[in-house]
Structure formats: C-alpha cells, structure tokens
Amino acid sequence: MPIAFICPHCQAPLQPSNSQWCCSNQHSFDVAKQGHINLLAVQQKRSKQPGDSKEMVAARRAWLAKGYYQPIANALSELIENNSTVLDAGCGEGYYLSQLLAAKNIDAVGNDISKFAAAVAAKQCPAAQILVASNKALPIAEHSFDYIVCAFGFPVWHEFQRLLKPGGKLVLVNSTNQHLYSLRAALYEQVIEKPEAQLPAFLTCEHEQVLTYSIEGLDASEVQALAVMTPHWFRAKQAAREALIEQPPSAIEVSVRLQVCQFNASADTAAAPE
C-alpha cells in the first residue's frame, strides 16, 4: 500500500502528482524542480529559513562525499529489512538515505526542515519522496512505516509513535562523548562532556552497538568541511577556527551509538519532552 500524505493545513488526504499536490479543500503545493515538496506550515517555522543553512549543507555534502562516514551508513543499512517502508526523519542532504536505498529494496520518505537540505536530498535520492517538513508535525498518515530512522536528529516521540506500524521499529543514531573529540578540543578552551541521553521508559531497546574508529591524514579543507557541518564551528571563536585550519588534528575520532527500539504496548508519549 502506498504511503499516504495529508495536508499540513487541514489534514485532508493529499493527492500527489508530478507538478502539484492538492487536497479536497483546495490547498495546493508545488513540486520543486529538484523533486522535493515543501509541506512546512508557516506556524511551524521559528525563523525565516529554519534548519541548516546553505553553507552547512554544502559542507556536509563535501565531507560525506569523501566516504569517511561510510561505516556508519553500512551499519545503519544492516538494521533495515528489505521490502519495508522507511522514514528518514531529519534526512539532511540525504547521505544516509541514499546509501540505504542503494543497499535495500525499500519504499522511503525523507524529511528535513531545511529547504536547502531537502533540495540536495531530492537529487541524491530520486527513488524516495523528500519533504520539507518538521518532525513535530509530519504530513503523513498514521501507521505508515515499518522503520523510522533518526540519525543525529531530533526525535519527536509522539509523532514517531503515530507514524510507526504496529510492531514498527525506531532506529536511533547518536554520537557518544568521544565523537569528534579532537575537533572539539581544538575549537574550545574546555570540552564539556555532557551525560549521554538515556532512552525514555516507553521505549524498549532490542539492539545496541557502538561504532568507533579514527580518521587520519585529513587535510585542512577536509577538516574545515567537517567543522562547518557541525554547530561547533559557529560557536567557536574566530582565533580557534583559524588555529584549527592552520594545524588540523592528526586524527579525528568517530564514535556513534546505534539503537533499534520499539514503543512499549502501553507507551504514553503525550507528555514526553522532545
């Protein structure tokens, strides 16, 4: 059964076409030339251009194209079964979704709140439907997905619970405190390690793994692309940025935790913090 989309204004079913999506209440949305569609309601925007900027998206594209995060993409793909429906919630420029589509036979949707990211994702993932939309209010009918992937994103538990089919699985990919430690140490006077987030009680984790490796021999342009795609670059002082590029770390640590979870049968996510 095809994934059904709903109007972000009135929640009536949307009828997709190649050029425009419409609902029975005469709300219409144009398909962009890149292939994505903007279904982000105005009231869901916190700024004029929410999400990653064009600069951050370009930096992420340049870094990921080098293949340094391929082990993460491979590990993620191994957690998804063929012939399933998948939502990449907060898909960014589409790297992980494109790798997943190449490895598996799936019916996929990706969304991102950044229109710049969605435009690139649509080019990278022509087999998927890419939306400009917020995880807080996804314009998709309930019980649509076998899997929801949230990689380095912002989970919205009640929406994910609504969208998963009974028995559907949530795949989370998050950094550990060791992730990009050398980069952070170069940009900040002191690296503050925060307690790693714990899963809420309404989720049961059925699989967990930590993937850790080092990347060596990066040149200054590669280190800069990595830094710019993170918030650390924009939080750091100018002098620290210049020092990082002048003398890049000899190695960059990659450390991520992958978890496959299910919502408990009696899960109540209504009051859960986002």
Per-residue pLDDT, 273: 61
pLDDT, tens digit, for every residue of 188-204?
Answer: 999 988 887 789 999 99
Is the pTM higher than 0.85? The answer reads yes
Tokens representing residue 233 in the block: 């670059």
In the chain, the domains with their CATH numbers are: 51-262 (3.40.50.150)
Per-residue pLDDT, 253: 96
Cβ–Cβ < 8 Å for 150, 171: yes
Q: Tell me the pLDDT of the chain (274 aa) as tens digits.
A: 679 999 999 999 999 888 999 999 999 999 999 999 999 976 565 656 678 889 999 999 999 999 999 999 999 999 999 999 999 999 999 999 999 999 999 999 999 999 999 999 999 999 999 999 999 999 999 999 999 999 999 999 999 999 999 999 999 999 999 999 999 999 999 998 888 778 999 999 999 999 999 999 999 999 999 999 888 999 999 999 999 999 999 999 999 999 999 999 876 776 566 6
For residues 147, 149, 154, 160, the Cα torsion angle rounded to the nearest 10 degrees is 0
SS (H, E, C) the chain: CCCCEECCCCCCEEECCCCEEEECCCCEEEECCCCCEECCCHHHCCCCCCCCCHHHHHHHHHHHCCCCCHHHHHHHHCCCCCCEEEEEECCCCCHHHHHHHHHCCEEEEEEECCHHHHHHHHHHCCCCEEEECCCCCCCECCCCEEEEEEECCCCCHHHHHHHEEEEEEEEEEEECCCCCHHHHHHHCCCCCCCCCCCCCCCEEEEEEEEEEEEEECCCHHHHHHHHHCCHHHHHCCHHHHHHHHHCCCCEEEEEEEEEEEEECCCCCCCCCCC
Per-residue pLDDT, 45: 54
pLDDT, tens digit, for every residue of 49-103?
Answer: 678 889 999 999 999 999 999 999 999 999 999 999 999 999 999 999 999 999 9
Per-residue pLDDT, 2: 78
